[in-house]
């Protein structure tokens, strides 16, 4: 489907927030994506309340997708304590859930991913200082970055793509209230990414953020929230990037 024989077209979308009792279907969207992309990346918050029934609903809609699907979970997918069951449902329906021990390769392009976490950006990143709850909060952000590092280290491909839920840079959360920036992502993710040769990064979470930005190293980052992409192109509410 790619215009060049050695290139790969990646469709990416996040924050689907699927309800188990909703009559809405994503089948037509996944069918359209299958006609334009070589692979689909789902950038977290796939379910609304993290319920297995919601994951089953999504899995049913994904049957219309004819290209490989990779995914990471988001904060909503952890809400009800069923994250492992959600992963199991997705994997049973041929979705590759990207974690430090699980990556994906297609046509010479490697995919690594992690959920990510909060913590703030650049000089405003929260430091592990003071009360134990603050240290635990920062430890969670560090651990998510380490998971991503393990995944990227395991890839042996010349071209690599990162899938996240939380944002790795501030540029793609601009548009959200500045007061909540620290809860939308962490520069620790970008620091990890910039240690590797990465061609593109996709994330979700910031519904009212900005579409694109770059890490300090210059790696392109795309905010793929469906809520944002619907305002940019209602007919094609997904990112489509060739690497």
Predicted pLDDT at 53 = 97
Predicted pLDDT at 214 = 98
Which residue range is the domain that position 222 belongs to? 9-242
Predicted pLDDT at 2 = 44
What's the rounded Cα separation, in Å, for the pair 198 and 220? 9
Q: Which of 227, 207, 230, 204 is nearest to 74 (CA)?
A: 204
Q: Would residue 2 count as lying in a domain?
A: no
Predicted pLDDT at 20 = 82
Contact at 8 Å (CB) between 207 and 232? no
Q: Which residues contact 106 (CB under 8 A, 6 or more apart)?
A: 8, 38, 39, 68
| CATH number of the structural domain spanning residue 93 | 3.60.21.10
| The dihedral sign for the CA sequence 215, 119, 129, 124 | positive
Q: Which residues contact 53 (CB under 8 A, 6 or more apart)?
A: 20
Based on C-alpha coordinates, what's the Rg of the chain?
Answer: 17
Q: Would residue 3 count as lying in a domain?
A: no
Contact at 8 Å (CB) between 240 and 37? yes
Task: Please report where in the chains the tokens 């993710």 appear, as a residue.
Answer: 189
Q: Would residue 1 count as lying in a domain?
A: no
Predicted pLDDT at 100 = 84
What's the rounded Cα separation, in Å, for the pair 57 and 62? 9
In the chain, the number of structural domains is 1
What's the rounded Cα separation, in Å, for the pair 189 and 21? 35
The separation between the first and the last C-alpha atoms of the chain, rounded to the nearest angstrom, is: 13
Predicted pLDDT at 24 = 81
pLDDT mean for each 10 residues of the chain (243 residues): 70 96 89 97 98 97 97 98 98 95 96 98 95 96 97 96 98 97 98 98 98 98 98 95 97
11, β-bridge pairs: 40, 240
């Amino acid at each position: 489907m790619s215009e060049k024989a050695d290139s790969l077209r990646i469709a990416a979308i996040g924050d689907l927030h699927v309800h188990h009792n909703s009559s809405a279907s994503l089948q037509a969207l996944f069918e359209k994506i299958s006609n334009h992309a070589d692979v689909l990346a789902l950038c977290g918050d796939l379910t609304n309340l993290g319920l297995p029934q919601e994951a089953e609903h999504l899995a049913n809609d994904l049957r219309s997708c004819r290209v490989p699907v990779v995914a990471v979970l988001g904060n909503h997918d952890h809400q009800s304590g069923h994250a492992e069951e959600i992963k199991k449902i997705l994997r049973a329906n041929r979705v590759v859930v990207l974690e430090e021990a699980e990556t994906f390769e297609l046509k010479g392009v490697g995919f690594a991913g992690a959920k990510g976490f909060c913590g703030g950006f650049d000089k405003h990143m929260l430091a592990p200082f003071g009360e134990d709850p603050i240290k635990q909060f920062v430890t969670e952000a560090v651990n998510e970055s380490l998971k991503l590092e393990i995944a990227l280290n395991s890839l042996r491909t010349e071209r690599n793509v990162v899938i996240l839920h939380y944002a790795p840079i501030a540029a793609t959360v601009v548009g959200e209230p500045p007061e909540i920036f620290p809860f939308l992502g962490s520069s620790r993710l970008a620091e990890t990414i910039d240690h590797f040769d990465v061609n593109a990064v996709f994330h979700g979470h910031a519904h009212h953020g900005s579409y694109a930005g770059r890490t300090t190293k210059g790696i392109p980052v795309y905010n793929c929230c469906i809520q944002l992409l619907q305002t940019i192109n209602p007919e094609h509410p997904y990112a489509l990037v060739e690497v």
